[in-house]
Amino acid sequence: MAATVTTMKAPQAAQVRVPETPAELQRVPLVANLRGFGWISNRVASLSEDKAPLWWWILFVPSALCLGMLLFMLSYQISTGVGVWGNRHPVMWAWDIVNFVWWIGIGHAGTLISAILFLLRQRWRTAVNRAAEAMTIFAVMCAGIYPAMHVGRVWYDWWLFPIPNSNSIWPQFRSPLMWDVFAVSTYFTVSVLFWYMGLVPDLAVMRDRAKTRIRQFLYGLFALGWTGSNRHWSNYEKAYLILAGLSTPLVLSVHSIVSLDFSVSQLPGWHTTIFPPYFVAGAVFSGFGMVLTLLIPLRSIFKLEDLITMRHIDLMCKVTLATGSIVGYAYSMEFFIAWYSGNPNEQFHFLNRALGPYQWAWIPMVTCNVLVPQLFWFRSIRHNLVIVFIMSILVNVGMWFERFVIIVIGLHRDFLPSNWGYYRPTWVDIGTYVGTFGLFFTMFLLFIRFLPMIAISEVKGVTPQSDPHHPLGGAKVKEVVPQ
């Protein structure tokens, strides 16, 4: 790279010499090793063009079997009744809602990365947004199973839609459960739209590289005839910006509304105003945990180190640290308010969380969500992929226990001691939960097999040579770095 940058405008003045930025102030490039446009296309597209590697089958077959198990568990539950789950009085919401909230929360990182980081001009998002958005969609699919199933008589699920039932009664919108239906279905639909719109230029990449008729036809069909016209890009970029602008309040509202399912009720431990921001922070926290869990192995297996650089991992760890700290703050604030409110029910509930029969769930929750992410303060930990990978799994273990603590501990001690109980999951609960992993990983593996898992055209747009005003803008990268 040239040692000085000269400006060519101002003909009367002598050429201005701008000293090169000192090394310690230079930004780490988003695409390492000065990779060219063609390299990016080849690298990413080849992942879904080459023959499926052995490890893919090794992961896919058990995932598909798990998915089969999910179908069996759901059929068994529908044909026998919701009593096959462990939900018993007084714990009428248990693993179903725990898993619903947990999966929905995981989904939040995708929209956060694609929308909020886009508005904040965090250009590093381009390398991870495609996979994170896909993860969102599949996580919301897993989540959606639970509310549909927990109603018991699933053939009445259509009562959730704004259609009058057989007695001409409409759904009643004064209940946050109805709000939730709209929030989650909107979230799913908008996430799919956003994801698909981002895919269109990359499907055109796949179409133009396709060797077989069937690939040409299918990629061509879904690429909608994209040509890369700048008149199209102009509208496309505006639409993308608007979708990001719409998804930002959406992602914040979805988990807020999920939290209203709890906080609008009058149960100690649920009836708090802190819930919406606390749930959103927890959702982003768990979502980033899942993104790290998925991308760290994929990055190594697919040799994507130049695209998903250590800086990307480092930044995602920092987001996890920030949101984990917000969650930790919310935990302590819940205890403080329980004491400060002087409400004996509230105080009993929080002491019961920490010291009661479900203490075994409270301890991993605090450990994994509050203590573990604090390790991300250390750069050496953020740069140790094995530790980051293990921690990212612990994050989601902790978040699962958080939902369990809120829901089951909230319900198992009713106001009257005669209404106290202890919840245990049944094998159907466990099988259904493991089965949703089957659905999630089957979908995700199919995604990385058939679609570009990194946004090719977006990553091209953040390379230095893509900027026509950059010193490298006029250069062909091949000339700078032989490939």
Partner 1 sequence: MNGIAQAYGIVAEFTTASSVLHAAEKVRDAGFRKWDVFTPFPVHGMDRAMGLKNSKVGWFAFLGGVTGYTTGMLMIWYMNTFDYPIVIGGKPMFSPFGAFPPSYELTILFGAFGSLFGMLFLNRLPRLHHPLLKNKRFSLVTHDRFFVVIECNDPKYSETQTRKLLEDLGSRHIEVVEE
Q: By CB under 8 A, what part of segment 166-185 binds partner 1?
A: 168-176, 178-179, 182-183
Number of chain residues interacting with partner 1 (CB under 8 A): 71
Q: How far apart are CA 202 and CA 207, in angstroms?
A: 9
Q: Scanning the structure block, which residue is given the tokens 């980051």?
A: 388
Smaller CB distance to partner 1: residue 259 or 286? 259
| Nearest distance in Å: CB 483, partner 1 | 11
Nearer to partner 1, 3 or 8 (CB): 8
In the block, residue with structure tokens 């001409």: 168
Question: What is the phi/psi pair of residue 32, to 5°?
Answer: -75, 160
| Binding window for partner 1 (CB under 8 A); candidates: 88-96, 163-171, 295-303, 438-446 | 163-171
Is 481 one of the binding residues for partner 1 (CB under 8 A)?
Answer: no
Residue 17 sits at φ, ψ, to 5 deg, of -100, 120
CA distances from 44 to 18, 302, 315 (A): 37, 9, 22
Considering only 17, 237, 336, 481, the residue that binds partner 1 (CB under 8 A) is 237
**Candidate list 4, 21, 33, 229; residue touching partner 1; CB under 8 A:** 229
Q: Which is nearer to partner 1, 189 or 341 (CB)?
A: 189
209 is a contact residue toward partner 1 (CB under 8 A): yes
Selected range binding partner 1 among 218-226, 381-389, 390-398, 407-415, rule: CB under 8 A: 218-226
Residue type, 35: R
Query: Under a CB-based contact definition with an 8 Å cutoff, are residues 459 and 309 in contact?
Result: no
Q: Judged by CB, which is closer to partner 1: 95, or 194?
A: 194
Q: Which is nearer to partner 1, 253 or 272 (CB)?
A: 253
Instruction: Please report whether residue 483 would count as binding partner 1 according to CB under 8 A.
Output: no
Smallest gap from residue 106 Cβ to partner 1 (A): 20
Q: How far is CA 252 from CA 216, 247, 445, 467, in A?
A: 39, 8, 28, 33
Q: Which stretch binds partner 1 (CB under 8 A): 235-243, 347-355, 403-411, 422-430?
A: 235-243
Of residues 247-306, which lie at the interface with partner 1 (CB under 8 A)?
247, 249-250, 253, 257, 260
Please identify, using beta-carbon distances, which residue of 226 and 440 lies nearer to partner 1: 226
110 binds partner 1 (CB under 8 A): no
Our measurement of the distance from residue 330's CA atom to the centroid of its chain's CA atoms, rounded to an integer in Å, reads 21
Say how far apart CA 164 and CA 147 lie, in whole Å: 20
Can residue 482 be called a binding residue for partner 1 (CB under 8 A)? no
C-alpha to C-alpha distance for 138 and 437, rounded to whole angstroms: 10
CB of 372: closest distance to partner 1 in angstroms? 34
Residue (88 or 476) nearer to partner 1, CB: 476
Report the site for partner 1 in 310-369 (rule: CB under 8 A). Answer: none
Should residue 159 be labelled a site residue for partner 1 when binding is judged by CB under 8 A? no
Residues 382 to 421 in contact with partner 1, rule: CB under 8 A: none
Nearer CB in complex with partner 1: 255/353: 255
Told to check if 205 binds partner 1 by CB under 8 A, we report yes
Q: In angstroms, give the least distance from the CB of 233 to partner 1.
A: 4
Binding mask 448-467 for partner 1 (x = CB under 8 A): ---------xx-xx---xxx
Q: How far is the CB of 184 from partner 1 (least distance, A)?
A: 9
The helix (H) or strand (E) run that includes residue 183 is: helix 176-209
The piece of 145-153, 232-240, 428-436, 438-446 that touches partner 1 (CB under 8 A) is 232-240
Separation in Å, CA 436 to CA 102, 135, 145, 179: 12, 13, 9, 24
CB of 81 to partner 1, least distance (A): 27
Q: 483 Cβ partners below 8 Å, 6+ apart?
A: 36, 39, 477
CB of 449 to partner 1, least distance (A): 20
Q: What radius of gyration, in Å, describes the C-alpha atoms of the chain?
A: 25
- For residue 426, count other CB atoms closer than 10 A to its CB: 15
203-241 burial, b if ≥16 CB within 10 A, otherwise e?
bbbbbbebeeeebeebbbebbeebeeeeeebeebeeebe
Pick from 56, 233, 389, 437 the residue near partner 1 by CB under 8 A.
233
Query: Does 225 engage in binding with partner 1 (CB under 8 A)?
Result: yes
b/e burial code for range 389-405 (CB count within 10 A of at least 16 → b): bebbebbbbbbbbbbbb
Which part of the chain contacts partner 1 (CB under 8 A), choosing from 24-32, 233-241, 318-326, 359-367? 233-241
Place of tokens 């939900």: 87
Q: Which residues contact 257 (CB under 8 A, 6 or more apart)?
A: 176, 179, 180, 183
Burial letters for 353-370: b for 16+ Cβ neighbours within 10 Å, e otherwise? beebebeebbebbbebbb
Report, in Å, the least distance between residue 188 CB and partner 1. 10
Nearer CB in complex with partner 1: 247/309: 247
Report angle CA 168, 172, 177 to the nearest 5 degrees. Answer: 135
